[in-house]
Amino acid sequence: MKNGDLYLMPVWLGEHGGIEQLPPENIALAARITLYFCEHEKTARKMLRRMVPDIDMASLLMHRLDKDTTPAEARTLLAELANGKDGAIISEAGMPGIADPGALLVQMAHTNGIHVHPLTGPSSLFLALAASGLNGQHFTFVGYLPRSTEERKQMIKRLEGEVERTGAAQLMIETPYRNDALLADLLQTCKPETLLCIAADITQPNGSVITRPVKQWRLHKEPVGKRPAVLILGRWA
């Protein structure tokens, strides 16, 4: 029997987003697929209802796929696809598989000969980088920095050194309630002329993408707060 295919189904960003951020092909696929892998079933069902208002909720099979999912559990999830059924990873926001637990299932799909299809949709990382004015040709996504203040500052120094050495933009994210702690360490650790972009609430009515030298951020001292944000270190080309 032919394996089913695995689709990566992005969703809109933020509370004020909606299906206008998604192409019609994604909506059509959401109406067809009945097998989903998600972090939170309740959230996934709510999103699918917005995509396809008349969707048959009783027909949907939802499997948990989160940061605690083990490789053994992921292999069990793949059995559904091995039986010829198409399935989709649906993200909590934006694109699945990037800073997202869906990456584990994608990895195992490749090792088991299952085709993976990424769908078009919003990605806060690329939207932030595109709007930052920083190096969009040479960049690194470093994800979450260490929780320890001392280790985080050491990491920031290494990232700033990479900017100075190669010009590569350094993208990072943080759990929203720790945004301001990360920002404080960046402003305390980085050199005055290093550029820092703060992209918060991207695509939302109150969203902003601002790139300034660290010395100017120190003067403004604007908190990020608990808004979803991408922070980028870089230099002008």
Task: Between 138 and 14, name the one with better pLDDT.
Answer: 138
Residue 105 shares a structural domain with residue 133: no
**Mean pLDDT, the chain, integer:** 95
Domain enclosing residue 188, as ranges:
124-234
**pTM value?**
0.93
Question: In this predicted structure, what is the pLDDT of residue 87?
Answer: 97
For the cut 90, the answer to whether the pLDDT of residue 13 exceeds it is yes
Nearest partner of 208 among 231, 188, 181, judged by Cα: 231
Sorting pLDDT into bands at 50, 70 and 90, what band is 83?
confident
The answer to whether the CB of 228 falls within 8 A of the CB of 93 is yes
Euclidean distance between CA atoms 70 and 119, whole angstroms: 25
Answer with the one of 118, 151, 184 that is the final residue of a domain: 118
Question: In this predicted structure, what is the pLDDT of residue 213?
Answer: 98
Residue 185 lies in a domain: yes
Residue 1 lies in a domain: no
Residue 226 shares a structural domain with residue 141: yes
Answer with the one of 118, 153, 184 that is the final residue of a domain: 118
CA dist 105 → 63, 65, 93, 159, 186 (Å): 12, 8, 17, 30, 34
- C-alpha Rg value of the chain to the nearest Å: 20
Query: Mean of the pLDDT values across residues 166-191?
Result: 97
- Cβ partners under 8 Å of residue 17, min gap 6: 11, 122, 203, 204
| Three-state secondary-structure class, residue 144 | strand
Residue 162 shares a structural domain with residue 108: no
Residue 170 lies in a domain: yes
Burial of 187 per CB tally in 10 Å (0-12, 13-18, 19+): middle
Answer with the one of 118, 135, 153 that is the final residue of a domain: 118
Residue 108 shares a structural domain with residue 137: no
